[in-house]
Homo-oligomer: A and B are copies of this chain.
Amino acid sequence: MKIQVAVAGASGYAGGELLRLLSGHPGVSIKTVAGASSAARTLGEVQPHLHSLADMVVQDTSAETLQGHDVVFLALPHGASASLAETLGPEVLVIDAGADFRLESASDWGQYYGGPHAGAWPYGLPELPRTGGERQRDRLRGARRVAVPGCYPTSAVLALAPGFAAGLLEPRDVVVVSASGASGAGRALKPHLLASEVMGSMSPYGVGGGHRHTPEIEQGLSWAAGEPVQVSFTPTLAPMPRGILTTATARLREGVTAGEVRAAWEEAYAGETFVRLLPEGAWPATSSVVGSNHVLMQLAVDERAGRVVVTAVVDNLTKGTAGAAVQAMNLALGLDETSGLPETGLAP
């Protein structure tokens, strides 16, 4: 019998992507879709690209609606997941695509999000390596609660983790600059997200360490390094619907060679389906990962500046959110880790 799933937040962009992927997952049956302002409308109205689900009716998001499923996906604004999760039994797999359970540090939570810290769940970034050989994957098998990483952290942490895990990088003066498509900012009506404002324009936001993904990036890289890592992170908004391009750079430890650097990254991702270091000479474009669960990256050692520069691309809605959620479900339930996840992007 198929796995019965519910998706809360079905009318947002993350919810829509979850439904796109789940509708193609061979082992899954989408039993319930829930929303807030979209309740009582059909998916055909709110997600008109989900042709095969067009007649499903959106339910209210409530504890009642979400009962009776094997898996519940929460794609809600931060702060909304904890109370819903409490109503779901420990045997139910709850996968939170929001921020509530990502940060282990209550003080970071308080500083960046405010309000009470709900705690931390296993972190849904299976490929993340660590000094000593552990991977996050090990913590996801059999889990019944999973926090899906933020889209920026997915790209930034995977970009630099191999160097930290291998002890090649200095833990200070790490700089990350990312450009994201507009869907990363969600579907709420905000003046700076109007098409006329975004098309043909780039702009920064949350500069100077203020973006909420900063402590999450530091947490991921610190876990990889086994010591605290400090990051300067600047996110920018790019005139495209989807995709993140992250440029991440760190100082090499004294004496580290370009060969050692390349070898560390190659080794870290050699066996991974969804994370690939490109052959030398090729550079990643976000168009190569749109709609897919892949992270592509390339690196260069800047001998002059003594730094490694890694550029990584990811679809913020797929591997950056919904694809990671499905991948985590596969791992937690013991399915093939790649089941239901697109092997190709959509280009051009």
Q: Could you list which residues of chain A lie within 8 angstroms of chain B, going by C-beta atoms?
A: 13, 16, 20, 23-24, 44-45, 47-53, 172-173, 175, 177, 179, 181-183, 187, 189-191, 193-205, 207-210, 214, 230-232, 234, 236, 238-243, 245, 247, 249, 251, 276, 279, 282-292, 294, 296, 298-305, 307, 309, 311, 313, 342-348
Distance, CA A201 to CA B231, complexed state (A): 26
Closest chain B CB from A21 CB (angstroms): 9
Instruction: Establish whether residues A49 and B344, one from each chain, have CB atoms under 8 Å apart when the complex forms.
Output: yes
A205 to B311, CA, bound (A): 10
Measured CB to CB, the nearest residue on chain B to A23 is: B344
By a CB distance below 8 angstroms, the chain B residues around A242 are 200, 348
What residue of chain B has the Cβ atom nearest to residue A197's Cβ?
Answer: B348
How far apart are A197's CB and chain B's nearest CB, in angstroms?
Answer: 6
Chain B neighbourhood of A194, CB < 8 A: 182, 187, 189, 193-195
Residues of B within 8 A of A203 (CB): 245, 283-287, 313
Q: A207-B247, A208-B302, A241-B348 are in contact. List 10 more A-B contacts (CB 8 A).
A: A16-B348, A24-B342, A48-B282, A49-B346, A50-B344, A53-B344, A175-B177, A199-B241, A200-B348, A232-B302
22 of the cross-chain contacts (CB-CB < 8 Å) are: A16-B348, A20-B344, A24-B342, A48-B282, A48-B296, A48-B347, A49-B288, A52-B344, A172-B305, A182-B199, A187-B194, A193-B196, A199-B200, A200-B200, A201-B240, A205-B283, A207-B311, A209-B309, A232-B309, A234-B249, A291-B291, A291-B346
